[in-house]
Chains A and B, each alone.
Chain A
Amino acid sequence: MKELRLMKGNEALAEAAIRAGADAYFGYPITPQSEVIEYLMANKPEDRTGMVVLQAESEIAAINMVYGAAGCGKKAMTSSSSPGMSLKQEGISYIAGAELPCLLVNVVRGGPGLGTIQPSQSDYFQSVKGGGHGDYKLIVLAPATVQESVDYVKLGFELAFKYRNPVMIQSDGIIGQMMEKVELFEQMPRVEPDYDWATLGKKKDQPSTFITSLQLQAEEQEKVNLRLQAKYREIEKNEVLFEEINCDDAEYLFTAFGSCARITRKAMEMARAKGIKVGLLRPQTLYPFPTEAFSKIADKVKGILCVEMNAGQMIEDVRLSVNGKTRVEHFGRFGGMIPNPDEILNALEQKIIGG
């Protein structure tokens, strides 16, 4: 039977974590994501499933607790918002280097610095292009609804363990704070880990297992990098997710992700009402990026407007995908400001149609 509830994005995500059979959550309060840990603490997952919830002394400690639990083959996660995510980057790099599965959630707010607590998408580069040091990639899922926030928790853990790679849900202050109808999936059991890569305690007559991201010999470190790159190519081949709306007859194209895609969709409807044939391509995975979808559609549209709540970040990937085949322009509001459909439509008319 369907379980429908009206829930706040952050709380729905926390409920999804319990239901996905997560073993451990380690976090630290920061606006606008504190409801995640608050919901977890209030809903006693320790009693419901045995899931561990711990408020760490810092984001740095939290991500390293995730490292420890993930290294034991457990489903571990943390969540934060932009400044806190910056603090976690060292740990994320180590997790990627040691090839540990885990789920990260960034409820993005405006920056740089302490910035603002209002929603933003200005951490696209941080999430998609690395964030921490070294050549690594996170799988980045960008929900546009509370429903997707829930579904991506389940998907995120699946992908994390499939590839032994950290997965990030890049939410924002809108998705995290708004209430929507959501269908919750049924409680999944927690799984006792039995992985040969995990530190479960040394098995008799077998060599011990260790988790590390250190290779002092350059030849060995290059091998690690080659293995990671091969994994990333697999991910790019298998895991791209995107949504196309009104793209079949489109002469122009909007692209946007997350909450911004919802506003852009309204602009698309307004444009259609005026007779402008415009579609919307919404990447659901920011990495792997829907490169091929953009390349294909670039053959038939006269221009693409990339709408983001930042100064122009995803547009770089759009342009790389399109590779000069059509015009790509950016429209953005940032620092916590949210664009309205009118100004998006106006930008389409000025920058793409009239430009």
Chain B
Amino acid sequence: MTGTWALIRLIVRRDRVLLPVWIAITALLPAGIASATADLYADQAARDSFATASASNPAQLAMRGPIYDASVGGLTAWTLGSSLALIGGLVSILLVIRHTRVEEETGRRELLSSGVIGRHAPLAGALAVVLAANLLLGLLSVPALVANGLPAGSSLLFGLSAATGGWVFAAVAAVTAQLTAASGTARELAIGVGGLLFALRALADAGGIGWLAWLSPFGWVRLTKPYAGDQWWVLGLVAVFVAVLAAAAFALSTRRDVAGGLVPARPGPAAGTLTGPFGLAARLHRDTLAGFAIGFGLMGALLGVAARGLDTQLDTPQFRELAATIGGADARISDVFFTFVMYVLSQLVAGAALVSALGARGEEAAGRAELLLSTPVGRLRWALSHLVFAIVSPVLLLGALGAAAGLAYDGDVARVTVATLAYLPAVWTVVGIATLMFGMLPRLAAALSWTMLGLFLAVDLLAEFKLATGIILDLSPFVHVPALLLGGASSSAALLGLTVMAVALATVGLAFLRRRDLMPSA
């Protein structure tokens, strides 16, 4: 364990932006939801009718589980219990793999281990930071909940439940990181385990097989029942589970070589069939794209099912008023819901498209572009081979999202799909800006592109609370997409304008690329 403290400081230093942002956002979320719930369902009668409707909606049961108590606190715990475990779990998995297996894969661990760093220090350091961060965000959420008038004891239990959600998956990732030499596989394994455990809990609550929920961490974070009887001892169960997994990870790590895995890497083909940059790019983007497509498809299907129950569940005077101001007097509540959700999800799709759009820069930074561009492959052809996937990816993802949502809602695939595909030009604009950055400021391209997407999200958030209007709002391309489901003018002018802008941005970016030096990061 020698050197663990030094490694903890290294990890905190490397993630000095990511950690505080993650902790701050997730710590603030519960109080926000609590106050929104208190506003939206002002009296006990409204909350009871909401709870009754939710209990009869299988999609809500699958996503969030049963409501244990129809108080403001109980509804807050119901809204966020699963989501916080999902967010905390995902971030924890990514962080643990990043500071263990990725370090070994890149050879940095070897460099450190030759110094005075104990065999267990890297895993111990990564786990310490991630567990502490989860605990911190759980504790930090408590004061704001109490300030919203919720009982202190239950709020503390709720905060700790949220923290343990992240703990479980940090421990799962610690185990998968020992199994294979490839960090990507370790990541996918851990996320896959998370998906299975989530599905297990969903099946338990939606299928009325309550005891199954006791087999999943996603069940445990709800079964502590904060604001609904406070079953503190369930936390002990989680702690034991985490301790056992962590011990297993440490034991496994002594049975393998540094940079090696317990599962040996399988050999691949001795001869290749790739004939050029487009074939190569297809190989590089294929798996990620397929994963995103399945993910967005499933999300769409869940939303479609959830929307079925919405017309009765959200039939409160407050929500009807909201729907009317957004969609006009005769708007269907489910259409308002779809419109709102698609608007948010289109920005997630933009995130997926950014991954593809920055693919070429990643190749350049890693030095692989240098090898490929020393062959007769020209720069433009190489850049386009990646860009084409950034263009196609949102078509596929928005299409999967809309089609699955439409199919699951009322079988009318075309109506919802057309409405989601309307976001294509906005997503392409994001891709265009990333390509411009890639051409002009390659070293900053990734940071600037993601910051820009974050700013667009912030603009929308400000708009939602009516804090941004006019020109600031106009800066986000997503604002200009007409809401087709709500009879928004299907004027092609805005969509055409965005598309033209996207093409222009990308063209300028590619022109800069042809003129500049290649810049590997080393």
- Do A and B pair up? The answer is no
**B-to-A contact residues, CB < 8 Å:** none
